[in-house]
Amino acid sequence: MFKLRLVPQEEKYFDFFNEMAGHIHASAELLAEMFARFDQAEEYVRRIKNLEHQCDDLTHTIVMKLNQTFITPIDREDIYALAGKLDDVIDLIDSAASHTIMYKVLEVTETARKQADVIVRATAEIVHAVAKIKTNSGLQQHFIEIHRLENEGDVLYREALAQLFDDHEDPLEVIKWKDLYETLERSIDKCEDVANVLEAIMLKNA
Amino acid sequence: MFKLRLVPQEEKYFDFFNEMAGHIHASAELLAEMFARFDQAEEYVRRIKNLEHQCDDLTHTIVMKLNQTFITPIDREDIYALAGKLDDVIDLIDSAASHTIMYKVLEVTETARKQADVIVRATAEIVHAVAKIKTNSGLQQHFIEIHRLENEGDVLYREALAQLFDDHEDPLEVIKWKDLYETLERSIDKCEDVANVLEAIMLKNA
Amino acid sequence: MFKLRLVPQEEKYFDFFNEMAGHIHASAELLAEMFARFDQAEEYVRRIKNLEHQCDDLTHTIVMKLNQTFITPIDREDIYALAGKLDDVIDLIDSAASHTIMYKVLEVTETARKQADVIVRATAEIVHAVAKIKTNSGLQQHFIEIHRLENEGDVLYREALAQLFDDHEDPLEVIKWKDLYETLERSIDKCEDVANVLEAIMLKNA
């Protein structure tokens, strides 16, 4: 009976994580759209920031619940780590979006668009993987794809940086784009961190 | 009897944390003073560095004690996390102070002064909150204020960055100030991390 | 008998960590060599990247084993932390190496060579310390030396940064070298993080 009483509460964690993953993927899609329709950038930044705030609230809710609950469906430290890593992804997506405004970027580069596209695909894998924690099956394929995307992102980043120092005469443009490419690259890296936490959870519960 | 023997040791953790919080707030006040009396910057950097070393020693002492103690007043991982996050705050305050010297900054901007002021107020909240862990009451108001200050800091940072790329012709000045604004902003972010760890401790012991 | 069955598995963790430490030190030596024979830089970058990939695989293996094993020779969270921190060191060494190529650096500065030399010595201390976890004796001297080297690195970094803004007229060179000095400095800082995790392990098992 004690177990039964806890079931709805256990389910809640999965719901929270699914919701977070959904917001993160949505923010990635908004970033990619923003880079395609850059004349409406400010509106996209506002919408991404809104999703980022919702993830902050979800993280806060998860941590609060975690500290008031004795029994959790997955280990406490894994719940904490997963919430933290998911939050890092959207923080960096939000940071990339808002910095393009702060830096008064006039035109988004082709490489930045490709990086945003990698983030869209990596966060889609996160959505699928998070949805499968509950049944703990079929996650492996998503980890493999996320690692592949991280390599794809790495190649893009290295090319972008090399090209940046080749092409640009204007140091201020170099400063801005170096920072933007790095932020986009770090978003992809954080998706890999999410995959690593999910893999640890999967193995423990195997 | 076993319990009684441990009581003085338990108290020690609270003393260590109060001492650390005090040093961090003192270093923030020195930073703000330094920014107001910038002709004496070197002396302030020296005094901040001294407090930073004392916090390093306190962190080390806490970790050592933690690994030799079986029973702790609050969870081991929380003690570890709190010491680490407090140390991050003073590391960044020290970094901001010493970089103004390394960068041979001639005059501190109004925005940097405002950021330092936010750090002073956020670290004051940390002092109050840390002092209340022991009784575990009245902490909430300090968390709310720290989150509000983090938002205040965020607005300052975004304005500073946008203005930096608007105003400056000299890329070297942009490089320096971008770095300084970021370091000050990160100090405030770390105060929020401290608040989050304290909130987790509060909830667990509620 | 249960204990006996686990012994070979316990030994495995020590083997993995010794192997990781060896790769990290080897990558540091390659970095220092690369800085001395910079005409062959690309070949060195390739070899360092190869070691970095091997450490990624080892970290992955450790985490996988960790999640399938009930009893471990040292605490799970310490195994996890140690693998993570060791991986951070080689990631930054790899990053420093590959960025010199991406930035099309023509000549390596004397300070960068000295920083690489500090990394070689700090990672040698890590090799020795990691080899001694098993017997848990004689580690202290290596921690002391790593902390001394971190201070040595700190002085180098601060001098390099001050000099960079004194000497250079070309902002693009400042951007590149600021980034390279920081990455090298962070490699040394991460060696200290490794020492701190090792010290925690040592104290717990004392």
Burial grade of C38 (CB within 10 A; 0-12, 13-18, 19 or more) = middle
- Measured between CB atoms, does C67 come within 8 Å of chain A? yes
- Does residue B70 surpass a pLDDT of 80? no
Q: Which residues on C lie below 8 Å from A203 (Cβ)?
A: 63-64, 67-68
Residue ranges of A 91-120 with Cβ closer than 8 A to chain C: none
For C91-115, write each residue's pLDDT tens digit: 999 999 999 999 999 999 999 999 9
B152 CB-near residues (< 8 Å, 6+ apart): B118
Whole-number pLDDT of residue B10:
66
* CA pair distance B33, B44, nearest whole angstrom: 8
Model pTM? 0.89
- Residue B10: how many CB atoms within 10 A of its CB? 15
Higher-pLDDT residue of A33 and A137 is A33
Q: Are A104 and B166 in contact (CB under 8 A)?
A: yes
- Does residue B141 surpass a pLDDT of 50? yes
For C119-174, write each residue's pLDDT tens digit: 999 999 999 999 999 898 999 999 999 999 999 999 999 999 989 988 777 899 99
* CA pair distance A71, A82, nearest whole angstrom: 17
Lowest mean pLDDT among A44-48, A159-163, C114-118: A159-163
Average pLDDT over residues B84-103: 95
- Alpha helical stretches, state H, chain B: 2-36, 41-68, 76-102, 110-131, 140-167, 171-204
- Measured between CB atoms, does C165 come within 8 Å of chain A? no
Report in angstroms the alpha-carbon separations of B29 from A89, B116, C166.
34, 8, 29
Three-state SS at B206: coil
> Any idea what DSSP says for residue A133?
T
Interchain CB contacts (distance < 8 Å): A and C: 38
C165 CB-near residues (< 8 Å, 6+ apart): B102, B103, B104, B172, B176, C174
* CA pair distance B45, A133, nearest whole angstrom: 50
Q: Are B116 and B204 in contact (CB under 8 A)?
A: no
Nearest C-alpha of chain A: how many angstroms from B17? 21
For A11-66, write each residue's pLDDT tens digit: 788 899 999 999 999 999 999 999 999 999 999 999 999 999 999 999 988 888 88
Q: What are phi and psi of C179, to 5 degrees?
A: -65, -45
For A56-115, write each residue's pLDDT tens digit: 999 988 888 887 777 777 888 888 889 999 999 999 999 999 999 999 999 999 999 999
Whole-number pLDDT of residue C1:
34
For C51-106, write each residue's pLDDT tens digit: 999 999 999 888 888 877 777 778 888 888 899 999 999 999 999 999 999 999 99
Q: Which residues on C lie below 8 Å from B103 (Cβ)?
A: 161-162, 165
Q: Are C78 and C130 in contact (CB under 8 A)?
A: no
B184, two tokens: 């000050």
- Does residue C6 surpass a pLDDT of 50? no
- Does residue A2 surpass a pLDDT of 60? no
Residue type, B137: S
> The complex's ipTM?
0.83
B55, two tokens: 């916090």
